[in-house]
Structure 1
Amino acid sequence: MENIPNPIIIQDFITESGAIFSSLPLSFTLSGLPLHTAPIVLVNHALTGNAQVTGENGWWNDLIGEDKTIDTNKYTVLTFNVPGNGADSFVIENYQDFTARDIARIFIKGLKALNIEQVFAIIGGSVGGGIAWEILALEPNITEHLIPIATDWKSTDWMIANCYLQEQILNNSSRPVEDARIHAMLCYRSPESFKEKFKRTLHSDLSIFNIESWLAHHGNKLQKRYQLSSYKLMNQLLKTIDITRNSEDFETLLSKSNAAIHIVAINSDLFFTPQENLETYNELKKFKENVSYSEIDSVHGHDAFLIEYKQLDHLLADIFKAETIAK
Structure 2
Amino acid sequence: MKNLEKIDIFNFDLENGKQKPYIPLFFQQFGQAIGSAPVVVVNHALTGNSNITGENGWWNDLIGENKIIDTTYFTVIAFNIPGNGYDDNLYNLISNYQDFTIRDMARIFWEGLFSLKIDAVFSVIGGSLGGALAWEMTVLFPEKVENLIPIASDWKATDWVIANVLIQDQILNNSNDPIADARLHAMLLYRTPQSINQRFQRSKKGNLSVFQIENWLTNHGLKLKNRFRLSAYKLMNHLLKTNDITRGRKDFLSILKEIKTSIHVVAVDTDYFFIPDENRETHNLLNSTKENVYYHEIKSIHGHDAFLIEFAQLAQILAPIFNKQKQQSYVSA
Bin the TM-score by the shorter chain. over 0.9
1:140-199 Cα deviation digits (max 9, x unpaired): 112110000000000100000011000000000000000000000000011111011101
Q: CA deviation at 1:4?
A: 3.4
TM-score, with normalisation over the residues of structure 1? 0.98
Q: Are residue 261 (structure 1) and residue 231 (structure 2) matched?
A: no
Q: CA RMSD in A?
A: 1.0
CA distance in 2, matches of 1:246, 1:129: 20
Q: Does the Cα contact within 8 Å between 2:79 and 2:109 map onto a contact in 1?
A: yes
Q: CA deviation at 1:115?
A: 1.0
Q: 1:214 aligns with which of 200, 213, 216?
A: 216
The match for 1:60 is 59
The match for 2:163 is 161
Q: Please list every run of at least 4 consecutive aligned residues from structure 1 whose deviation after the TM superposition is greater than 2 angstroms.
A: 2-6
The match for 2:7 is 8
SS state of the match for residue 27, structure 1?
A: strand
Q: CA deviation at 1:268?
A: 0.6
Q: Are residue 92 (structure 1) and residue 93 (structure 2) matched?
A: yes
SS state of the match for residue 23, structure 2?
A: strand
AA matched with 1:307:
I
Q: Does the Cα contact within 8 Å between 1:44 and 1:80 map onto a contact in 2?
A: yes
Q: CA deviation at 1:3?
A: 4.6
Moved more, 40-49 or 19-28: 19-28
SS state of the match for residue 148, structure 2?
A: strand
Query: What runs of 5+ residues in structure 2 fail to find an aligned partner?
Result: none
Q: Does the Cα contact within 8 Å between 1:155 and 1:239 map onto a contact in 2?
A: yes
Q: Does the Cα contact within 8 Å between 1:11 and 1:21 map onto a contact in 2?
A: yes
The match for 1:41 is 40
Q: CA deviation at 1:14?
A: 1.5
The match for 2:71 is 72
CA distance in 1, matches of 2:231, 2:314: 32
Q: Does the Cα contact within 8 Å between 2:43 and 2:127 map onto a contact in 1?
A: yes
The match for 1:83 is 82
AA matched with 1:127:
L
Q: Does the Cα contact within 8 Å between 1:140 and 1:256 map onto a contact in 2?
A: no
Moved more, 150-159 or 4-13: 4-13
SS state of the match for residue 7, structure 1?
A: strand
1:245-283 Cα deviation digits (max 9, x unpaired): 112211121123101000000001000001010001011
1:59-87 Cα deviation digits (max 9, x unpaired): 11111011111011111100000000011
AA matched with 2:249:
S
Moved more, 86-95 or 177-186: 86-95
Q: 1:171 aligns with which of 170, 173, 176?
A: 173
Q: 1:133 aligns with which of 132, 135, 140?
A: 135
Query: What runs of 5+ residues in structure 1 fail to find an aligned partner?
Result: none
Q: Does the Cα contact within 8 Å between 2:5 and 2:28 map onto a contact in 1?
A: no
Which structure 2 residues correspond to residues 166-315 of structure 1 after superposition, within 5 A?
166-315=168-317
Query: Identity of paired residues, percent?
Result: 55
Aligned residues: 326
CA distance in 1, matches of 2:197, 2:177: 27
TM-score, with normalisation over the residues of structure 2? 0.96
